[in-house]
Amino acid sequence: MSCTVGPEGRSRECRFDYPVGGETERLKAGTVLAWLDAHPFVIANGAPGATAKVLVRVNVKRSSDGKGFDVTAPEGAFAESFGPEMTNPVWVYSPSDMWSVLYIPDRSTKMNMRGQATVHCIVSAAGTFVNCWADKEIPPDYAFAESALMIMTRARVRPVSSTGESVVGRTFTYAFHFNGQGAFDGQ
């Protein structure tokens, strides 16, 4: 989905990038969007007014009355950012470890198209990346940002640096360069 970065660096006006089909799915999607409007999250290092592609993890289940849906966020899903940006992470699973051809846009592979996207995230206490968003998608609308987000949310770091300093709550930026042949490199 995409969100606008508000003046305070939080999400607003979130929307799905692709049409949501089926009445039940539209109701579910509308419930999620209303919940996100009520619970804006940090888009670390986002420029106010910019559009950010985001991957948001929430729990959605049918309400007890069966007439709608309830939405909750997994613990730590919407972390606040603080401290300097993390550099030189201690990887448990790096993005290249989590890479799968399943995450590379099919259309771009068939066309042997190169692309790139930059992902920004916040490090959680569990060493996962949360509040991830992508920018600098080149070329736009070929799902390079979505692929990079999927890879990054599966990567893991130790929540402490190699010197033993906590990296929880720090932002981290990773640039993906897709080679057009179903693989990528990054930094």
Q: Express the helix, strand and coil content of the chain in percent, nearest 5 each.
A: 20, 30, 50
Determine the structural domain holding residue 62 and report its residue range: 2-72
User: For residue 90, how far is the Cα from the chain centroid?
Assistant: 20
Question: Are both 131 and 171 inside the same structural domain?
Answer: yes
Distances (CA, A) of 71 to 25, 27, 32, 49, 141: 14, 12, 7, 26, 28
Structure tokens given for 54:
């985001």
Question: Are both 114 and 31 inside the same structural domain?
Answer: no
Which residue among 38, 72, 106 closes a domain?
Answer: 72
Which residue among 22, 40, 72 closes a domain?
Answer: 72
User: For residue 40, how far is the Cα from the chain centroid?
Assistant: 14
Under the banding of pLDDT at 50, 70 and 90, the label for residue 167 is very high
Spatial separation of the C-alpha atoms in residues 157 and 89, rounded to whole Å: 6
Dihedral in degrees, nearest 10, Cα atoms 132, 137, 143, 146: -10
Range 111-137 average pLDDT: 89
Is 78 among the domain residues? no
The structure's pTM equals: 0.84
Task: Give yes or no for residue 102 having a pLDDT over 60.
Answer: no
| CATH number where 164 lies | 3.30.1150.10
Question: Are both 119 and 182 inside the same structural domain?
Answer: yes
Task: Give yes or no for residue 183 having a pLDDT over 90.
Answer: no
- Structural domain count of the chain: 2
Question: Are both 144 and 181 inside the same structural domain?
Answer: yes
Is 83 among the domain residues? no
pLDDT in tens, 18-41: 889 999 999 999 999 999 999 999
Is 81 among the domain residues? no
pLDDT in tens, 103-121: 665 665 566 778 899 999 9
Question: Are both 22 and 95 inside the same structural domain?
Answer: no
